[in-house]
A and B are shown apart, each in its own frame.
Chain A
Amino acid sequence: MSNTCDPAMRDLEANVPSLKRTLAERMLGTLKWWVGILVPFGVLGLAGWILPLPFVMEVLIFSIYTMACNFLLGRLGFISFGQPAYLAAGAYGTAFYLYYFGTDPYMGIVAGVLAGFVVSALAGAVFVRLRSDYFALVNLALTVIVFYMLQKVLAPITHGDNGLWFLDRMRNTPVLDITNPRQLALLIWLVAVALWAFYKYIDGTIFGACCLATKTNEDKVKFLGYNDFAIRWTGFVLANTTAALAGSLYGIYFGFVSPEMASAARAADPVVVTILGGTGTLYGPLVGALAYVGMKDLVSRLVGNWEFFVGLLLVTVMLAGEKGIWGTLQPIAQRWVGRWVSESRE
């Protein structure tokens, strides 16, 4: 067994302890991750009582939207300038159901998610063959096409730029009443926490590892016998269905959808927020969305042009090593937590 002549074998043996250690770390991680969820989302949930409610809802929905992009960018290595297409697919799925067919907002959300699933499953089958920048651009093309479909071509059903209003068509629902803003905020909060936990869970599964592997070296993944097309397609559909869910929640929250949602001018927003927060980090989307929405709100109230500051911040983040806000804060936070844990033990 310990034939140490073979260098590859020796490497493997040298690596076994570290494998064990990462397993232990992962077990510790699963213990800690409840804390990980509860602290930031708890703070944001509490903030719902202090900060204006629309702001908190906006941050939460935006962070769901960004989680999708974060998964694409950080786990699959896809940079997509076409997220508004999927956002709009979800929003219009919900809007069509609530405007033409039913009154149950929960069914509306389901309809939106289904619409997003169908659109991303079809688009993904064609798109995931392309790499990085081409992928970004075909997605941008899809966004523009969706925008003009909604604005002009499908105008008889989408009412063009006037949009669809369905706020007063939504029925009161028994358990969590969506028509009540505070309970809607609770629902959005629950969805955000659930999605966060879901993506955290994905990270630990074989599928998550495969996603990361296709990002790093697609040939090796093929060599190991995995179907890399299926992995990327599944990841793509997963992420964009999440984006559609965010769109559907936007629709419910405003009670109104318009083609503006699929506007190409907003196409880079989720990518920017992902990078602002820290690509591939778990809290990145939340921190990024908070910083972005907060800055947009605050700066546009104080100075008037938020673009300048967002641009400046983005360039600074990129030049500082593209770790993002959370990527920079994380080591500091970990040191704090570590010190606090060791002190409380003594």
Chain B
Amino acid sequence: MEGNIWISGVIYGLSMGSIFFLLAVGLSLCFGLMRIISLDQLLYYSLGAYIAYTVETAIHQPWLSVLSGALAAGIASLVVERWVFYRIYARELTFTMITSFGILIGGVGAIKYVWGLIPRPASIPVDIQVSILGTPVPVYRLIIVAIAAGVYVAIQIVLNRTVIGKAIRAAVEDVDQVEGLGVDVYRLFTLTFVGAGMLSGLAGALHAPLVMVDPQMGLEVVPFVFMVVIIGGLGSIKGTLVSAFLVGQVVSLGSLIYAPLAQMAPFVAMLMVLLVKPTGLYGSPLLRR
């Protein structure tokens, strides 16, 4: 019995970590490449969840609805990028942070206007359970972990094997140099931003069945996502992966030990990491401002 709780705790932590990873990797990429802090990723997360929920209730196609959630988030991020971020890439970090916070708040207001204030339950696409070492584990959570792992591999392949990915990596090191080579860096920026928005939307659409869909859901995960990015080191994909699963486990296993710990422990961990190593676990000292 005791062991069962721990196994399901670990699985729960893994799926939370996957969601955190999908959300944080966009933020981290945006920071690494464009030097912006894009809080509005959390808006695409809620939007993805809401679109997935709406499509699901309309046509009862779970995976199609997840896909449409991610696509809608991508379109929304494209619009925001064109209208707002395109004008402010050159500004300092805190400026983009506050502007994107304005977008986040405005978007939450718009969501409240369209879908109302009441939290909605979204249905789970796969509600089978498999037994791992005698513990029933929902398959859906395992699928989320698999998707996150797939996304990680895909990002690594794109960044390491394609021309665009190599240009992005080079631009993380030195934007001016890459621009000097004749690469249209603003196209790279748009591409990265929309990619990040789609990943956030995917995270929202996948997370929707596990939590209730409600307008505040984006604001609720802000602290956790930030924490993941900070612990991992801004701009590092690998660091984001490690810290996302770390935070997922701390939240999940912490709550098994002592319930209030679930929300607090990750912040204590972040405080420790920041005070000891201000660049995060994998943050390169080059990226320090």
Contacts and interface: CB of A to CB of B under 8 A. Distances in A.
Interface of A: 79, 126, 130-134, 136-138, 140-142, 144-145, 148-149, 151-153, 264-265, 268, 271-272, 275, 304-315, 318-319, 322
Interface string B95-108: 10111011111111
Given A133-B37, A145-B268, A152-B260, A307 B95 contact: no
A118 B45 CA distance: 39
Contacts of B119: none
A140 B267 CA distance: 9
Nearest to B108: A307
A131 B279 CA distance: 12
Nearest to A309: B109
Nearest to A130: B278
Given A134-B230, A140-B226, A308 B99 contact: no
A83 B276 CA distance: 23
Given A137-B274, A145-B267, A152-B259, A275 B88 contact: no
Contacts of B274: 130, 134, 137-138
Question: Interface on chain B toward A: helix, strand, loop, or mixed SS?
Answer: helix
Contact of B220 (A265, A275, A305): A265
A133 B100 CA distance: 14
A141 B99 contact: no
Given A141-B267, A144-B223, A315 B109 contact: no
A323 to B, nearest CB: 13
Given A134-B274, A304-B113, A319-B87, A311 B220 contact: no
A264 B219 CA distance: 9
A92 to B, nearest CB: 17
B82 to A, nearest CB: 13
A315 B223 contact: no
B256 to A, nearest CB: 15
Interface residues of B, number: 42
B226 A311 contact: no
Nearest to A306: B109
Contacts of B264: 144-145, 148-149, 153
Contacts of A132: 93-94, 289
A311 B267 contact: no
4 pairs of A and B residues whose beta carbons are closest in the complex: A311-B106, A308-B109, A314-B102, A307-B109
B135 interface: no
Contacts of A314: 98-99, 101-102, 105-106
Contacts of B105: 272, 307-308, 310-311, 314
Interface in B237-289: 259-260, 263-264, 267-268, 270-271, 274-275, 278, 289
B130 interface: no
Interface core residue of A133, A142, A315, A319 (most chain B CB under 10 Å): A315
Contacts, number: 123
B8 interface: no
Nearest to B43: A311
Contact of B98 (A134, A138, A275): A275
27 contacts: A79-B97, A126-B275, A130-B274, A132-B93, A136-B94, A137-B274, A138-B275, A140-B226, A144-B223, A145-B268, A145-B271, A148-B264, A149-B264, A152-B259, A264-B222, A272-B98, A275-B98, A305-B109, A307-B108, A307-B112, A309-B106, A310-B109, A311-B104, A311-B106, A311-B108, A318-B98, A319-B99
Given A132-B94, A304-B113, A312-B106, A319 B289 contact: no
A272 B105 CA distance: 11
B113 A308 contact: yes
A265 B219 contact: yes
Contact of A310 (B97, B106, B230, B259): B106
Contacts of B260: 148, 151-153
B110 interface: yes
B202 interface: no
Given A134-B230, A144-B267, A148-B264, A311 B102 contact: yes
A153 B104 CA distance: 31
B278 A311 contact: no
Nearest to A132: B94
Given A141-B267, A311-B107, 9 more contacts: A133-B94, A138-B275, A140-B226, A144-B267, A265-B219, A275-B98, A310-B105, A311-B102, A311-B108
Given A145-B268, A311-B104, A271 B109 contact: no
Contacts of B267: 141, 144-145
B216 interface: yes
Nearest to B279: A134
B110 A308 contact: yes
B84 interface: yes
Contacts of A311: 102-109
A140 B271 CA distance: 10
A314 B99 CA distance: 7
Interface in B7-27: none
A272 B101 contact: yes
A230 B22 CA distance: 41
A140 B223 CA distance: 7
B199 interface: no
Interface core residue of B95, B107, B223, B226 (most chain A CB under 10 Å): B223
B227 interface: yes
Contacts of B108: 307-308, 311
Contacts of A149: 264
Contact of A315 (B102, B113, B270): B102
